[in-house]
Amino acid sequence: MSNYTQEINRRRTFAIISHPDAGKTTLTEKFLLYGGAINLAGSVKGKATARHAVSDWMEIEKERGISVTSSVLQFEYDGYCINILDTPGHQDFSEDTYRTLMAADSAVMVIDASKGVEAQTRKLFKVCGMRGIPIFTFINKLDRDANDTFDLLDDIEKELGIATCPVNWPIGSGKAFQGVYDRESQCVISYSDTEKGTKEGVATEVPIKDEEHLRELIGNDAADKLLGEIELLDGASAEFDLDEVRAGRLTPVCFGSALTNFGVEIFLKHFLNMTTPPLPRMSDIGLIKPTEKEFSAFVFKIQANMNKAHRDRIAFMRICSGKFDAQMEVRHVQGNKVLRLSQPQQIMADERKILTEAYAGDIIGVFDPGIFSIGDTLCMPKEKFAYEGIPTFAPEHFARVRQIDTMKRKQFVKGIEQIAQEGAIQIFTEMTAGMEEVIVGVVGVLQFDVLKYRLENEYNVEIRLENLPYEHIRWIENKEEVNVEKLIGTSDMKKVKDMKGNPLLLFVNSWSIGMTLDRNKGLVLTEFSRN
C-alpha cells in the first residue's frame, strides 16, 4: 500500500450534531484533549471571566454561549488523523449544519440523558437520513439525573426510526452514577468524578462474572439492577451489525459524561473502530473514490472576517480524492479557471496553520478573493467534472434592511453581499424604480441579530430591520418563457430578484401561490434555486 493510500485510509471525518445545550462543544473539547490538541478544557458558557470553548470563535458566540457557525478541528489520536466538524446546535443556524453534513462521512449525535430526543435532533437526523450517513450516539450528562435507559433507547427508535445497539450500559445516574458496563469486554468500568480539565480519572474494571467484586464495587442494589438489565438487554436489543451501522440504519449507543470526562475515550475508541475512511462521492461523471483520482474537492462553507486584522474570506473545502499540494494548480470548475489555491490552511477555531499538503478526507481553508460559491468543485487542470450541488433552503423570515447612515452605502452593500455569499442569509432586491430596496431572508430569526452585529462590528455600518409578513418564497423556473413584469398576482405578493438576478415571488399566504399559478397559465414556480 502506498504512503498516499495509507494517509487517506487513516483519515476519519465526522460532524457532531445535537440539540442546543446537550453538551456537544464540551464533548468536542474532550476529544481534543485526548488528541493532545489542547492541554486544558475551557468553559463553554458565555461568561466574561471563563475561558471559551475552542470551537466557538466568533465574538457573538462568546457573548451568547452558543455556536452559530461550524468550526473545523483536526487532531491525531491512536494513529488516526481525525477531522471534526463542530456544528451550531441552535435551530436558527441549521442551514449551516446541513451544509457541513455534506462534508462529513459520519455523524456523532449527542443526546442529553435527562431530555432524550429533542426537536432539533429530529431535524438534523432527517438530513443525515437523506444522505444515508452513519450515526453514532453519545448519551451525555449521566452525572445528572437521567431518564430510564430503556426509555431513552426507545425514544431514539420511535422518534428517529433507527435501531439502537448499546455498546455500553450506565449504572445509575446523577449522584447514584457509578460507571458503565462494557458489553464487548463484559467488564464494569467504575466512575470517579475527575477534574474537568484533565484526561484521566481513576477507573476500576471488574469482570461482570466476578460477582463478589462487582457487589463490593457498586453495592448489592445496583448489582441486582444491572444484572437484570443486562439479561433483558441481551434478549431485546438489536444485534451489532457493522453493515447496518454504515448504511445508517443502526446506531451504536454509548453513555457517559463529557463534563466530568467519563466515557469519552471509551466512546472515541469504539467510534474509530466502527467508522469508515473517506467515502466515495457522487459527481456528474459517477461515483469518485478517494484513491482513484488525483486531487478534487468541493466548497461547503465560506466565512468572511475570521481574522479581523486581515478582513479576509476563507472558503472551506472537503478534499474528496487524492492529495493536495500547496504548489499545485487546480481547475475551478464553475469559474472555468485554472489557478493556485492561495494561503491553504488548517483552522483550529481562530488559530491557523499554513499547510503544504493534505489528503482526501481533510478539510482545508483557502483564501477566497470572491470567486468561490458554496457547492463549487475543484479538480486537476486536465479534468472537468462537478460534485453534486448543495441545496439552498428557502428562507422563512424576511425583513427590509435600511442603513442608518446613507453615506455608507458602499460598506453596506459590500458587507451584506459578503455575508450572503457565506450562505447565512439570502438577499433580494425589490424590482422598483429609483434606489433598490434590500430585503433579507433567513431560515431562523436569530440570523437577523447576527447580521446586525456583524455589519456593525466588521463593516462599521448600522442598520435598521423592518420585519415583513412574507413566509413563502418561490423562484420562477421558466423565467425565459414568461413576462415577469406582467404577472398577475395576489395583493399579498411581492416581486423581487436574488443576487444572480433571478426573479422571485414572495407571498404572505400559501394559498396565494396556487391562485397566482391559476391566473398565469404556463407559469412554473419552485422552492429551490437551480443555479
Look at residue 387 and tell me if it is in a domain: no
Average the pLDDT over each of 36-45, 47-56, 385-394 and give the range with the smallest value.
47-56
CA distance 176 to 146: 10
Q: Are 527 and 394 in contact (CB under 8 A)?
A: yes
Q: Given the C-alpha cell 475570521, which residue does it identify?
A: 306
Look at residue 242 and tell me if it is in a domain: yes
Looking at residue 155, its pLDDT comes to: 92
User: Is it the case that residue 343 has pLDDT exceeding 90?
Assistant: no
CA angle 345, 349, 355 (to 5 degrees): 15
Residue 156 backbone class (left: φ over 0; alpha: ψ -120 to 50; beta: rest) = alpha
Range of the structural domain that residue 353 is part of? 281-379
User: Is it the case that residue 45 has pLDDT exceeding 50?
Assistant: no
Residue finishing a domain among 235, 252, 274: 274
CA angle 531, 333, 306 (to 5 degrees): 80
Looking at residue 305, its pLDDT comes to: 60
pTM metric for this prediction: 0.77
CA distance 443 to 96: 10
The CATH number linked to 102 is 3.40.50.300
Instruction: Please give the share of the chain, as a percent, with pLDDT higher than 70.
Output: 84
The CATH number linked to 452 is 3.30.70.3280
The residue-averaged pLDDT of 76-84 equals 91
pLDDT bin (cut points 50, 70, 90) of residue 408 is confident
Tally of CB atoms within 10 A around 12 = 20
Name the 3-class secondary structure at 111.
strand
pLDDT in tens, 156-184: 999 888 999 999 999 999 999 999 999 98
User: Is it the case that residue 193 has pLDDT exceeding 80?
Assistant: no
The residue-averaged pLDDT of 33-59 equals 50
Looking at residue 325, its pLDDT comes to: 93
User: Is it the case that residue 50 has pLDDT exceeding 60?
Assistant: no
Give the three cell numbers for residue 253.
449507543
The residue-averaged pLDDT of 345-367 equals 82
Helix spans in 176-286 (H): 211-218, 220-236, 242-246, 264-274
Mean pLDDT score of the chain: 83
More confident of the two residues 182 and 389: 182
Sheet holding 397-403, edge to edge: 463-468, 397-403, 438-442, 426-430, 493-498, 503-507, 472-476, 525-526
Same domain, 159 and 18: yes
The residue-averaged pLDDT of 50-63 equals 49
Look at residue 353 and tell me if it is in a domain: yes
Helix spans in 384-462 (H): 409-421, 446-459
Residue 305 backbone class (left: φ over 0; alpha: ψ -120 to 50; beta: rest) = left
More confident of the two residues 139 and 347: 139
Residue finishing a domain among 274, 309, 325: 274
Task: Pick from 18-22, 33-37, 281-285, 478-482 the range whose average pLDDT is largest.
Answer: 281-285
pLDDT bin (cut points 50, 70, 90) of residue 308 is low
Same domain, 340 and 489: no
Q: DSSP per residue over 338-359, as a string?
A: EEEPPS-EEEETTEEEE-SEEE
Looking at residue 223, its pLDDT comes to: 93
Q: What residues does 85 pair with on adjacent strands?
A: 15, 72
Quote the radius of gyration of the chain (alpha carbons, Å). 25
Give the three cell numbers for residue 51.
475561558
**How many angstroms from the chain centroid is the CA of residue 197?**
25
The residue-averaged pLDDT of 278-307 equals 87
Average the pLDDT over each of 37-41, 99-103, 522-526 and give the range with the smallest value.
37-41
User: Is it the case that residue 105 has pLDDT exceeding 50?
Assistant: yes
Q: Given the C-alpha cell 475508541, which residue does it identify?
A: 269
CA distance 488 to 480: 17
Look at residue 360 and tell me if it is in a domain: yes
More confident of the two residues 229 and 443: 229
- What is the number of domains present in the chain? 3
Give the three cell numbers for residue 284.
456528474
Same domain, 269 and 147: yes
pLDDT bin (cut points 50, 70, 90) of residue 201 is low
CA angle 104, 93, 421 (to 5 degrees): 80
Same domain, 104 and 32: yes
Q: DSSP per residue over 131-182, as a string?
A: HT--EEEEEE-TTS----HHHHHHHHHHHH--EEEESEEEE--GGG--EEEE
Query: 53-58 contacts: CB < 8 A, separation 24 or more?
Result: 53/25, 53/26, 53/28, 53/29, 54/28, 54/29, 54/348, 54/349, 55/25, 55/28, 55/29, 55/86, 55/349, 56/25, 56/349, 57/306, 57/349, 57/350
pLDDT bin (cut points 50, 70, 90) of residue 89 is very low
CA distance 82 to 35: 9
Same domain, 302 and 180: no
Q: Are 302 and 423 in contact (CB under 8 A)?
A: yes
More confident of the two residues 239 and 469: 469
More confident of the two residues 128 and 413: 413
User: Is it the case that residue 51 has pLDDT exceeding 50?
Assistant: no
Looking at residue 28, its pLDDT comes to: 84
CA distance 31 to 76: 10
pLDDT in tens, 242-272: 999 998 999 999 999 998 888 888 899 999 9
Nearest to 96 by CA among 64, 54, 66: 66
**Amino acid residing at 522:** G
Residue finishing a domain among 274, 289, 304: 274
CA distance 170 to 188: 9
Same domain, 303 and 202: no
Same domain, 92 and 112: yes
Q: What residues does 17 pair with on adjacent strands?
A: 109
Look at residue 56 and tell me if it is in a domain: yes
Look at residue 477 and tell me if it is in a domain: yes
Give the three cell numbers for residue 65.
454561549
Same domain, 340 and 471: no
The residue-averaged pLDDT of 491-504 equals 86
User: Is it the case that residue 342 has pLDDT exceeding 90?
Assistant: no
Tally of CB atoms within 10 A around 101 = 24
Sheet holding 363-367, edge to edge: 337-340, 329-332, 377-379, 296-304, 313-321, 363-367, 345-348, 351-354
CA distance 270 to 278: 18
Q: Are 101 and 108 in contact (CB under 8 A)?
A: no
Same domain, 236 and 367: no
Q: Given the C-alpha cell 485526548, which residue does it identify?
A: 34
CA distance 127 to 133: 9
Look at residue 389 and tell me if it is in a domain: no
More confident of the two residues 26 and 252: 252
User: Is it the case that residue 220 has pLDDT exceeding 90?
Assistant: yes
Q: What residues does 81 pair with on adjacent strands?
A: 11, 76
Same domain, 255 and 288: no
Task: Pick from 235-249, 374-388, 416-430 the range whose average pLDDT is largest.
Answer: 374-388
Look at residue 392 and tell me if it is in a domain: no
Same domain, 69 and 203: yes
The CATH number linked to 324 is 2.40.30.10
Same domain, 337 and 402: no
Q: Give the C-alpha distances (Å, rounded to integers) separating 281 from 102, 274, 284, 293.
A: 10, 20, 10, 12
